Chain A
Amino acid sequence: MNLVNKLKNIRPETLALLLAVLWLILISVLRFTLHSHIQGKTRLKVGYLPITCHLLLPVAMERDEFFKRGVMPVKFTSWPDMIESVKGGELDAALILAPIALSMMDQGVPVEIALLGHRNGTGLVVSSAESIRGVRDFRGKTVAIPIRFSTQNLALLTLLRKNNVDIHQVKRVELPPPDMPSALASGAIDGYIVGEPYAMQARVMGVGRIFRQISAIWPGFISSVLIVRKDALKKRRKDMNALIRGLYLQGRWVEKNRAEAADIAAKFFSLSPRLIRLVLLSKEVSYINILPEKSEFREIGKKMVRYGLLKRIPELWIYDKWR
């Protein structure tokens, strides 16, 4: 009997079971042949989001030898996922919003702040359809923020307070940054405060204008910081130091080669190069002076306590032994 005849005599149930098992083997083999190259166990895992505040990571991946062989960037699409990956110990380091880092320290997550992502690079955007001229015009309006635990949120609250606007008169909603420009275009929100390039995006799309750059609200503004896990520091101090030093040194290069850095980052983040160039060449972002100072974080902590994001300022852990 040949094979075809044999197959014909198999009961359909057996055939179905056989095919199901074959499928399992096939899909598993395909999966692991396709993805074997990203299973770098020895590399340092660093979490990031595609925003210009995290631009030093792609630049270092392109220009720094240690990064090419020793670092695995892990892209995230939202802050909560990154927070859980840091807490679970999946990541060795991460670029994360400063208030999140502080709240982690408050919860006893073993992390230290090693570096700032950059300075400034955030804009308060208002719809071109709205006639918001002064801060008081924000009363009764809806403004989007990336997440409660962001310095963007704190900056907005500070601006309102300074201008004697009751913060409860402005409705704040949390939105993923990529959704903000289209939410503004559709009229769902009247404005938003966010890190670049999503403020610039509203201008490019012609749906909004920058009401105020962050440097006018909060000079030397800090958005994200590089946090490092203490256990990773203990086990692989040399590599961790190379990571921090590499990012720090790329900052100086970016400061002088902005267009080139923009192109590297745009490719890495798969965002429009024109958009990233606009952001970097506007000089509203700065990649020097990114060493963390305790006093600045105490200031952020104070604001978080004032607006109910923290009960008290936690013990601040700054890692500076790499310098």
Chain B
Amino acid sequence: MAVKRYGVLSLILLLLVAWQAVTSFFRVPEFVFPRPLSVARALLEMLSNGELYRNSIASLFRVTWGFYLAVATAIPFGLFLGRQHQLRAILNPLIQFLRPISPLAWIPMALMWFGIGDKPAIFLIFLSSFFPLIVFTTSSVLNIRTTYLRVAENFGFKGLRLYMRVILPAALPDIITALRITLGTAWLVIVAAEMIAVKSGLGYLIIDARNSLRMDMVVAGMVVIGAIGLVLDNIIRLLERMPSVEWSRVRR
């Protein structure tokens, strides 16, 4: 662990030094690529005036709601669809048609339907997670070993009990992996969505800094987005360590 930690830290330090050295040596103008020191100054400035805190909260709020809404609808639906072969055959083409449409393509519509503010952004996050989650959940149900289902059948498990006791636990490891992937996408999309659909948040911070010709703040915003993304990923990784999820790794 210690080796890994020092390795990561020294890599970051090395990159910072290289960044500073290259930009100073080639005299890259600040408006093309700002120096690490001015980025650090911009970070401090945004920390002290509360901009960073306020905008991070706004972004996290939207991601939370959009992502939760998607989880709450897509997972039950996906579990259900995984068992309904005929319905799946009918719905699958539609889902596969809607899924590759980037949530960003919905921006004009989202703006007109929901106005400006949180709602369009939440809608876009929801879209970015909903379709992938359905697909992942459905396929995780299809991947359940038939032995489990046969045994459950022999014991007379039916209806809700079958879902709660057999299907969900069996599919859970794959679903958790799906959550991790879609949360990453959601965080990716929020920044892009906030560049257009709202007036606050980290994406807005970046576009606003750019309009004010403050490249140092643009890069500072990028640093914060990356850091929060890393934290989010680490939190959701904790879920993979739950016994009810970890068993699948042992099996493999």
Contact = CB atoms under 8 A, between A and B. Distances in A.
Interface in A59-109: 74-75, 77-78, 80-81, 84-85, 87-90
A156 B115 CA distance: 34
A24 interface: yes
Interface string B10-39: 000000000000000000010110000000
A41 to B, nearest CB: 12
Interface residues on A, range: 35 or more
A12 interface: yes
A274 B176 CA distance: 54
B212 A50 contact: yes
A254 B108 CA distance: 36
Contact of B239 (A16, A81, A85, A88): A16
A21 to B, nearest CB: 9
Interface stretch (A139-147, A218-226, A265-273): A265-273
A85 B213 contact: no
Contacts of A35: 54, 58, 200
A30 B199 contact: no
B174 to A, nearest CB: 16
Tell me the interface secondary structure of chain B in the complex: helix
A84 B58 contact: no
B194 to A, nearest CB: 10
B211 A81 contact: no
A12 B54 contact: no
B195 A13 contact: no
Most central of B32, B65, B197, B211 by chain A CB within 10 Å: B211
Given A81-B196, A87-B112, A201-B213, A30 B244 contact: no
Interface of A: 12-13, 16, 20, 23-24, 27-28, 30-31, 34-35, 50, 74-75, 77-78, 80-81, 84-85, 87-90, 178-179, 181-182, 185-186, 201, 205, 269-272
